[in-house]
Structure 1
């Protein structure tokens, strides 16, 4: 079952940055987002985007790798 998610302007901007290839996620239970190498200002939103299935990472704990949008993430900013 899928539920609609209301995204803030900040959340959409974060998704657009990832879509542009500017985002990295750290590995771990609650990954952190880095944009242009800098920590994102709102890690709570990052966690919500990951938990909602809009962002994903294949990083191991303590390692940063490129963040990816899921199909839902692409749809959210289309």
Structure 2
């Protein structure tokens, strides 16, 4: 599992796949302190990795949304670096 304390170079294959989906424009994040990731409209099964990626500053929502709402997800500069 990816945690905030792990170096970016140690991301799991699942975490990298999630970041690639975000980079491809296929992902949304729900509103709230612990957002959920949706890929192609379906909820991602690994909520903990989603939370870790958001808290590590690798991805974020493009817009501020409330609870029960979704916004397109985007990679931060750190998230782009993690994939390169």
Give the TM-score taking structure 2 as reference length. 0.85
4+ runs of 1 displaced by more than 6 Å? none
Correspondences of 1:24-35 after superposition (within 5 Å): 24-35=28-39
Q: Number of residue pairs matched? A: 76
Correspondences of 1:3-42 after superposition (within 5 Å): 4-5=7-8, 6-42=10-46
Query: Residue 74 of structure 1: CA displacement?
Result: 0.4
Which residue number corresponds to residue 51 of structure 2? Answer: 47
Which residue number corresponds to residue 68 of structure 2? Answer: 62
SS of aligned partner of 1:34: strand
SS of aligned partner of 2:71: strand
Per-residue CA distance 1:28-58 (angstroms, 9 max, x = gap): 0100000000000101000000000001113
Structure 1 vs Structure 2 CA RMSD: 1.1
Q: Is there any run of 5+ residues in structure 2 with no aligned partner, and where?
A: 1-5
Q: Is there any run of 5+ residues in structure 1 with no aligned partner, and where?
A: none
